[in-house]
Structures are given as structure tokens and as C-alpha cells.
Amino acid sequence: MAKKTKIPEEFLEGKLSVDEIESGNIENSMDEEFIHTYRKVISKNNEEEIPNFNLFEKIAFQQKKERTNRFKRAFSYAAIVVALVGFFSIFFYFNTTRKQHTQTVKIAETQKEVIKVLFLFSEELNKTLKNFDEATTAFQPFSDYNNYKIDFNNPMKNLKINEL
Amino acid sequence: MTDSDFEKQILRYKKKLYRFALSILKQKEDAQDAVQEVVLRMWKKRELLNSKENFESYCMNSIKNYALDLLRKRRNLQNYKESTPAGNIAPEEFENKDIIEKMQLFLKQLPVQQRMAIELKDFQGYEYEEISTMLEISVNAARVNVSRGRKRLYEKFKEEISNG
Amino acid sequence: MKTKLIVLVLLIISATAFAQNGEKTIDSTFELLKAQKDISYFEVTGEMFKMLSETKETTDEFKDYMRKLTGMKMVRMYNGHDNGAPDIYKLFMQNTNLKGFSRLMTSETSTRKISFYQKKSKAGNEYLLVQSSAVIYITGTIDLKSISEFEQVMNIAGSAFDM
């Protein structure tokens, strides 16, 4: 028959678990009461329902955040790409427009010069023809008349080159 | 570890993790938040978890580290009083509680190292080897903490009963 | 004796006439004249005339002229004929071989001398205006009539061409 003892020292030294104590063997009522109460505390604690919460709530939130960030990143990249493409398009457009403009200006200037030169040629030609008409034939060598290949109807109607 | 494996494993330990966090942080919302946070952190590293020999120990250890860290930060912000007899409740309120409730309060008042050891040993039934892994202390240190905690509870209990 | 003298004189005249022509091509002479002091040079290529014939902002008449031109060159003295400045007429005539060209007209006064030359071929026509202060060389399918008419065309068109 087991002796009634005080609360086992081993228990207080941590060498025995609560379940390993045979309460019937404890002599001291206070000690027995302690073990009894302690066991009740443990069972009450373990029986208590834990709150119903979602273990993975933060994971879900994190995944959502990452999705949003991914979208934001993609959107930013897209925006940057669009901005860059837009910028370069505008740049190239203006560059091309400027080049075209430069070329247009160059052509316009050349056009002006061509007109001047052609006009000068025409003017001098007509002036010289007029001089011929006014000069007496005696001052001109005969060979020059032979060289006349001008057989047009001059817009200046008082000149009758065809008859020369 | 696949996502679904991770989820399955974690769900198995939900209760244990929550209770352990609660024993350290004492507040239900804090414990809930801590568990969710630790689960998130582990999820981020889930690819590395296959190599973990004891997933359960690893989870509990993570809870311990996170919760203690949180406590430390809080102590820096405010004077965290552990030594008052009634903790956060008024003396009159304390007197109205039954002995079981009082014991629960005495448990809360234990130093955190003893609290953790008692929770794991007496409430969750872990062996000292397991406790030493989870708390990252020696087996002997684990036992000593359990011993000290139990002795303190015993003294508090005797004191309370004597005062009547 | 008299016949011999006449022949000699004629020979000298013809020799002088030959001596008046150089051995260079028109283009080479233009290069030479271009390099002279106080000379401005202007040239238009066939490519440019093609572009000018296609510009949108001009009349059909003008485009027609442009279509008929394949080349244009001009050298000109900046500030008229100075005493120290080269006589372009002389320089041009001394250096250029005008074989195939026929002289249309020459007009000479105390102040200036001007000659017109023409060369017609299947490839195209070439016209020269040679003056003391300028030489203009025009090539193309254009005929002399059109060139002469250009003055009138411009006078009518007037401000449209900014003249």
C-alpha cells in the first residue's frame, strides 16, 4: 500500500508531469487541493474553444497586394513604354517635318534662283534681238544672219524676226 | 512544400500555435495576429520548409521568436508591468474570482520564460527535448523553468488559500 | 602678190578666230571661272529640275519649263565689271572649245559685249549666254522660243513668283 505523502518534490522540480501524480497519495490537503486545482485549470484551458480566425488571412492580403503591385508595375512599364514611344514618335515626326521643311525651303530657294537666271537669259536674249532690229544691217557681218536659227513668233509684237 | 501541403500542415497546429502565442502575449487579438503573421512569414519561405525535420517545432519556435520580439518592443514603448499581483485587473475584481480563475491570473503573472515552459509542458504535453528545441534552450533549462513556474504557482496558491 | 597678201590676212584672221577658242570643255571652264575672285556660282542639276517640276506650289507653266531643263550653270561678277576684275567673256572664250556650237548673235557696245550660242542635237539642246560679267549655260529639251517667251511669262505671272 502506497504511503500518503506531500506533493511530490519531483513534481515541483519538474521531473514529473501533472498526470504522473497520484493524487490519492498526497497527504497534505492543501497540496492535494493545489494539484486538483491545477489540473482543473489545465483542462479548462484546453477545453476552451479558440477564436475562429483565418490563419491565412495575411497570406491572402499579401497575395492581393502583390497582384496589385504587379499590375501597377506592368501599368507603369506600359505607361513608360507608351510615353517613350510617344516621345520618340513626336521627336521623329518633328525631325522629319523639319527635314522636309528644310528641303522645301531649299527647293523654294533654288526655284527662285532658276527663275532669276532663266529670266535674265530671256531678258538679255530679247534685248539683244531688239538691238538687232534697231541697228542698221550695215553694221552687222553677213555671217551672223546666216547663224540665225530663231524662227519663233516673238511675244513682243514689234519685232519681226521671222522675216530676217 | 506545395501551397496545399503548407496549408494542411499549418491547420493541424492552429490550436497549439494560438495557445502558445496567447501564453506569451496574454491578449487574444495579439495572439491571433501573431499566429497569422508567423504563418505569412513561413509561407514566404515555404519552398525552404521541405528540409525542416520537425515542422511542428519549427512553427512553435517561430511563434516564440515573433511573440518575444513583440513583447520586447512593447516594453520599450511602455512600462510593461508583470509583477503586480492582479495584473491588469483591480483588486476588488480579483477577490471576486474563484480559485481557478485566480490560478489562471497567477499563470499570466509568471515571468515569460516560465510561462512558456509551463504552457508547453503542462498544457500542451510536450517532452523536455521538444521544449528545448522550441525554446532554443537546454533540456535542463527547460526543466528548471517548469520547476520554477510550478513552485511559484504553488506558493501563490498556498498564499491565497491561507488568506481565505 | 596682192592675192598672197589677202590669203595671208585671211589666214591670220582665221588663226585668230581659232585662237579665240580654247581646249577646255564648258564644264571645265566653269570650274576655272568659279575659282576667280569676286565670282558667284550657281548650278542646278537634272535631279533638282525633276524635283522642281514636281513641286506642288507652282503653276503648270512653270513646271513645264522645269521639265524641259536638264542643267543650268551661271558664273557672275559680284559688283559689275571693275577695271581690275577679270573679263569673263575673254576668259570663257579663250579657254572653251565651242565645237558644235553656232553663234546666234553678238552685241557689242563700249560698255559690254554679249554673245549667244546654240547647239542642237538628239540628246538635247545647249544654250550659252556669254557676257563680260556673266556666263549662263542652259541645257535641256527647251527651245530658244520658250526661253525668249519666259520674260513675258514672268512679267504676266509677276508677283506669283516673287519677282
Please state the domain extents for chain A. 9-47
Residue B78 has pLDDT above 70, yes or no: no
Nearest to C103 among A110, A147, A156 (CB): A147
The DSSP code sequence of chain C is -HHHHHHHHHHHHHHHHHHTS-SB-HHHHHHHHHTSTTEEEEEE-HHHHHHHTT-TTS-HHHHHHHHTEEEEEEEEETTS--SSS--HHHHHHHHB--TT-EEEEEEE-SS-EEEEEEEE-SS-EEEEEEESSEEEEEEES--HHHHHHHHHHHHHHGGGGT-
Instruction: State the residue range of the domain holding C150.
Output: 22-161
How confident is the model at residue A106, as a pLDDT?
Answer: 87
Residues B60 and B25 reside in one and the same domain: yes
B28 vs A46: CB contact, 8 Å cut-off?
no
* Longest CA span, chain B: 57
Q: For the beta carbon of residue B118, count every other beta carbon within 10 angstroms.
A: 24
Residues B109 and B50 reside in one and the same domain: no
Final residue in a domain of this structure, among B60, B80, B100: B80
Work out the mean pLDDT of chain B and round it to a whole number.
88
Would you say residue C2 lies in a domain?
Answer: no
- 10-residue mean pLDDT series, chain A (164 residues): 62 89 72 90 92 93 93 94 94 90 88 93 92 64 50 46 45
B147 vs A53: CB contact, 8 Å cut-off?
no
How confident is the model at residue C98, as a pLDDT?
Answer: 92
Sequential pLDDT tens for chain C (163 residues) = 666 666 666 655 554 454 456 888 999 999 999 998 889 999 999 999 999 998 887 788 889 999 999 999 999 988 655 566 678 999 999 999 999 999 999 988 887 889 999 999 988 999 999 998 999 999 999 999 999 999 988 887 765 555 4
β-strand partners of B131: none
Mapping DSSP to helix (H, G, I), strand (E, B) and coil, where does residue A5 land?
Answer: strand
More confidently predicted of A89 and B84: A89
Residue B55 has pLDDT above 60, yes or no: yes
Q: How many domains does chain C have?
A: 1
Report percent pLDDT > 90 for chain B.
65
In chain A, residues with a C-beta closer than 8 Å to the C-beta of C143 are 152
Predicted TM-score of the model (pTM): 0.53
More confidently predicted of C123 and B96: C123
B28 vs A51: CB contact, 8 Å cut-off?
yes
Would you say residue C12 lies in a domain?
Answer: no
How confident is the model at residue A155, as a pLDDT?
Answer: 47
Phi/psi at A49 (nearest 5 deg)?
-70, 140
How confident is the model at residue B139, as a pLDDT?
Answer: 96
How confident is the model at residue B84, as a pLDDT?
Answer: 41
Residue A109 CA to residue A115 CA, distance in Å, equals 10
Q: By the 8 A CB rule, do B52 and B58 touch? A: yes
Interface of C with A in 87-146 (CB under 8 A): 102-107, 114, 116, 118, 120, 127, 129, 131, 134, 136, 138, 143-145
Instruction: State the residue range of the domain holding B95.
Output: 83-164
Nearest to B161 among A12, A14, A33 (CB): A33
How confident is the model at residue C108, as a pLDDT?
Answer: 87
Would you say residue C14 lies in a domain?
Answer: no
Q: How many domains does chain B have?
A: 2
> Touching A: which chains, 3+ CB pairs < 8 A?
B, C
A59 vs B39: CB contact, 8 Å cut-off?
yes
Final residue in a domain of this structure, among B80, B106, B130: B80
Residues B156 and B107 reside in one and the same domain: yes
C131 vs A111: CB contact, 8 Å cut-off?
no
Q: By the 8 A CB rule, do B123 and B104 touch? A: no
- C12 part of contact set with chain A, CB < 8 Å: no
